[in-house]
Structure 1
Amino acid sequence: MDLFAPAASRSRIELFARAGFAARGAVYVLVGTLALLAAIGSGFGDVGGGKSALQALLGQPFGALLLAAVGLGLVFFSVWRLVSALTDADSHGTSPKGLGVRAVHALSGVVNGALAVSALHLALGFGMSGGDDDAAQDWTAWLLSQPFGQWLVGAVGLGVVGGGVFHLWKGFRGDVLKRLAVPAARRKMALALGRAGYAARGVVFGVIGVFLVTAAIRADSSEAKGLGGALQALEEQPYGWALLGLVAAGLAAFGAFGVVQALWRRIDAPDFDARRAVDGVARKARV
């Protein structure tokens, strides 16, 4: 058996990536469903972020096993995002725009990696410290403590707002099926899920970004909010139950779109030829 077979390596990476998209989708389905139940006043929902959704999953039958599976999938997604950003697996290039997209993917890998750790901690019975807002406030406080901290937080906030605007544009006018090989019979469903999902994420990102800009202006990390805080802010607006319901349904749709991505996304897994890497190291050593 050839342990260094590049084709086998690519196959494993692709499998990990697909499992990762499905796991991220499961988290969004949970977040959106719980928020939607809260919006309609069912008494069963909860307006929270990813960590709240994971805790809700733990309370279900076989919850620990389900949580472990989601956590492992999020590990795979995190690794895929980091690998694809470093190797440019999606061919974004080295233009300023391409590097920006790759940087966002790398950040997504870090964020989902942290969520994966929380999921696995819960599954193993170690509990969870804090929620999404606590995490956002912690790193905002750290950033504020750095030189030019307020400017840094403000820049991040504006970047998140910009990401929200881009997601809104993608939801309404963009090609949400790019890099997807969806069968013709499923394209309308996939398109509807993608548009609703990206639009909802755009709203949430915009709210999170505004909170970060506010934190920068006031030099107060407690102003920063995560996904859960953004959803609660929507709920507090006039007709907030309707606004929250629409966004929550969109987030659930984005979760379902994650399953679409898991099934039909074109994944150009990088060729990690270990033998070639070893030979290269050996040649350098001889020099």
Structure 2
Amino acid sequence: MSQKTAPAWVVPVMRAGYSSRAAVYAIVGGLALTAAIHGGRAEGTTNALADLKSQPFGLWALWLIAIGLFAYALWRFIAAGYDLERRGDDGSGLFQRGGLIVTGIIHAGLGVSVAGLAMGDSGGGSAAQDWTARILQMQNGKWIAAALGAIVVGSGIYYMHKGWSKKYKRHIRVTPTTQKLDPALQAGFLAQGALIAIIGALIISAAMTTSPENAGGIGKALDQLRSAPYGRVLLGVVALGLIGFALENLVEAIYRIVPARAGSDVETLAMRAKAKAKKEAAKAS
């Protein structure tokens, strides 16, 4: 089902969601960069946010992040249901809208975790390990877990492709700021995609060895990088990429458009790049 014009309240909900994502990845990326420079272990999302609670105004920050993550999940659900990003009703469009629902569910779950931290949970343990252990106890659980891991790897590859091909430009308004920050935005998508692919590979490894402790989220993926040859360098590069991804989410919070509301007269980065390529092709001919 498509809606011709998105309601006005959708826009602030979207912006709150992207702002919270920016905060989460800035914290995780900053702690990972600190670990790369000074040594120590990089923190995953939940543990990194648990550290925030002990800071001044940390409890309020956790609640704001949790509310923002719920807002992001709501935005994804609405965007998928009403096709506010104009993905279409064909097979490809429905697949992309299904992806919006999946990311909405993931961020709703993260919002629950952050709200739990605010209410006193310790933040220990790994959700990926817990879910992998439950799946492995099911009939044919090994293959179900492996299939889910493959889907996660595919999601990581999609993020890297989105960064490499610069498809993220489709919904970002042209401004001097967004044009200058484009390299950082691209690096952010590439780093996020690489981490997601590593998480998927860890889930597949856990499935094939029937060892749920081999699975893990962002923290485990960062640990894998840290233990590799030149691990601190790799960790530092990915940490900078995560900070770039935080910056990308901040840019989306400020400059992202909702196609079902913005209208056709708003120029996006993708439209500017296409016009530039067309002009250069005309000159060459």
Distance in 1 of aligned mates of 2:93 and 2:214: 31
**Is the partner of 1:10 in helix, strand or coil?**
coil
Label 1:33 to 1:112 Cα distance change in 2 as closer, same or farther (>3 A). Answer: same
Distance in 2 of aligned mates of 1:260 and 1:160: 25
Which residue is equivalent to 1:136? 128
Which residue is equivalent to 2:152? 160
TM-score w.r.t. length of structure 1: 0.83
Name the count of aligned residue pairs.
Answer: 258
Label 1:110 to 1:128 Cα distance change in 2 as closer, same or farther (>3 A). Answer: farther
Question: AA paired with 2:122?
Answer: M
Label 1:99 to 1:196 Cα distance change in 2 as closer, same or farther (>3 A). Answer: same
Structure 2: unaligned runs, 5 residues or longer: 262-285
Which residue is equivalent to 1:123? 118
Structure 1: unaligned runs, 5 residues or longer: 1-5, 271-287
1:88 corresponds to 2:83: yes
- Counting aligned pairs with the same residue, the percent is 35
Equivalent pair of 1:177/1:190 in contact (CA under 8 Å): no
Label 1:38 to 1:178 Cα distance change in 2 as closer, same or farther (>3 A). Answer: same
Distance in 2 of aligned mates of 1:71 and 1:266: 23
The equivalent position to 2:165 in structure 1, one of 161, 173, 186, is: 173
1:197 corresponds to 2:188: yes
Question: AA paired with 2:112?
Answer: V
Equivalent pair of 1:194/1:254 in contact (CA under 8 Å): yes
**Is the partner of 2:171 in helix, strand or coil?**
coil
- After superposition, what is the alpha-carbon deviation per residue over 1:159-216, rounded to whole angstroms, capped at 9, x for unaligned? 2212222222222233321111131x11333312220110101110111111111122
Distance in 2 of aligned mates of 1:72 and 1:138: 24
Equivalent pair of 2:185/2:244 in contact (CA under 8 Å): yes
1:256 corresponds to 2:247: yes
Distance in 2 of aligned mates of 1:21 and 1:106: 16
Which residue is equivalent to 1:66? 61
- After superposition, what is the alpha-carbon deviation per residue over 1:7-66, rounded to whole angstroms, capped at 9, x for unaligned? 8x82222211111001011100000000001100167xx511211221122122111111
Distance in 2 of aligned mates of 1:144 and 1:93: 37
Question: AA paired with 2:140?
Answer: F
Which residue is equivalent to 2:237? 246
**Is the partner of 2:167 in helix, strand or coil?**
coil
